[in-house]
Amino acid sequence: MRRRTGTIAAVGAAFVAGVVIGPIMGAGAQEGGRAETYRLLNLFGDVFERIRAEYVEPVNDRDAIENAIQGMLSGLDPHSSYMNPRMYRDMQVQTRGEFGGLGIEVSQEGGYIKVISPIDETPAARAGVRPGDLITHLNGNSVQGLSLQEAVEQMRGERGTAIRITIRREGAERPIELSITRDVIRPQVVRFRMEGGDIGYIRLSSFNEQTEAALRRAMQQLRQQAGANLKGIVLDLRNNPGGLLDQAVQVSDDFLEQGEIVSTRARRQEDAQRWNARAGDIAQGLPIVVLINAGSASASEIVAGALQDHRRAVVMGVKSFGKGSVQTVMPIPGNGAMRLTTARYYTPSGRSIQATGIEPDIEVLATREDATQQAAARRDREADLRRALRNDNAGQQAQQPAPPLPPLNLPAGLLERVQRQPAEGAAAFDPTRPETDHQLQQALQLLRGIAAAPNPQRRAAR
């Protein structure tokens, strides 16, 4: 038995070493020496062998190892995780802009699955799933004890197959049962239309490989429709959960002539990166309003922060989600990939929005109820996720305070005309009727006011 234990311990240690020995050895040598690192790896091997020998039912070695790796990564923060080969393939398909499932972006909270945002025109959105919903059961089985990846894997499946989900919703007296038929999710990442013949409306629902190219096509078609009548652009990032960093950089670059877009800072100073804008503004200097809310996360916040810091756009709505970390996907040949948080990102002025979010220049609530539900809104953000990374603005500001943002410089009296919340008795929001969208209507009013002002001053990039 002793020889077998030693063999299994060595195999377990070698497997773990093959995945993470580089960073672990570097950290271990600094903190307690290699002997301590090897002792801990042997501990893993001992536990692994005890499970194989004495668990009440036979254990699949691969499942046990993958569960151990998943636990190691998910214990770091809410966004680091292990993907087995199938999950990794699914992630690659989703990044390309097509995947099978329900069409929701989720996180994990208190053992339940929390909906960050349903994707437009998907089975989940059509079934009435809302941001902030807690999914408690899948096909009648509790999600307690499932990792986020395991729950996501259960929700995905072949087109035409159905799944029952149980939702706990703020304000609902009892759980909500929904039966949703899976579909091939091909989210239309960019939607656009003219508002009133003079304002272009562009909604980005996510940032995948198709986003920036689709944005350029939308802008071109809006110009063709409006001609010289185009007075401004509304860029709607509400409930956009984010996506690819390079797409966020390209979208920001599309509206900036120069200056920094975003920077990332990793554990080692030499791994820091910075992205700068190139000349060329697809909106040709037209005023822009960016709409955000608590469902605007990650790449959405990069775009909103870049345009806000350069005063290229007025950011309107409510505070964003606050996911200011960068995840790097590291393939493990033959064994899927690991998604590891490797850096924080910073807006051009040096702000980290991790766990704080982007504060709008002008706060405008979607409904009157929002004014009395601030506590509920706070629970829907990054800062409330377990093991969320802290915000390091205080430490950075102590060394080199970020400069204050330039003033908005709006035409006199225009800001005072913006209504913070809908009028009493206003029609309830209906996504098929833009006139019921209070935040959008305030954005349109602001843009028309800017365009009507004599000699409107164009905002220059830093």
* Cα-only R_g, the chain: 24
Classify 399 as helix, strand or coil. Answer: helix
Instruction: Note the Cα 302 to chain centre separation in Å.
Output: 10
What residues does 83 pair with on adjacent strands?
337
Contact 44, 17 (CB under 8 A): no
Range 171-176 contact pairs with CB under 8 angstroms and sequence separation of 24 or more: 175/136, 176/133
At 129, list the tokens.
Answer: 């799933």
Question: Which amino acid is located at 28 in the chain?
Answer: G
Asked about 253 being catalytic, the answer comes back as: no
**Per annotation, catalytic residue among 323, 370, 380, 437:** 323
Q: What is the dihedral of CA 389, 144, 338, 335, to 10 degrees?
A: 170
**Per annotation, catalytic residue among 74, 81, 252, 298:** 298
Rounded CA separation 153/145 (Å):
14
Rounded CA separation 247/243 (Å):
8
Rounded CA separation 263/275 (Å):
6
CA 69, 73, 78, 80 dihedral sign is negative
Rounded CA separation 296/203 (Å):
12
At 198, list the tokens.
Answer: 């003079």
Asked about 114 being catalytic, the answer comes back as: no
Rounded CA separation 290/136 (Å):
34
Rounded CA separation 115/235 (Å):
23
CA-wise closest residue to 209 among 239, 233, 186:
186
> What is the DSSP code string of 7-72?
HHHHHHHHHHHHHHHHHHHHHHHHHT-HHHHHHHHHHHHHHHHHHHHHSSS---HHHHHHHHHHHH
**Per annotation, catalytic residue among 90, 120, 281, 309:** 309
Contact 241, 187 (CB under 8 A): no
Asked about 107 being catalytic, the answer comes back as: no
> Which residues are known catalytic residues?
298, 309, 323
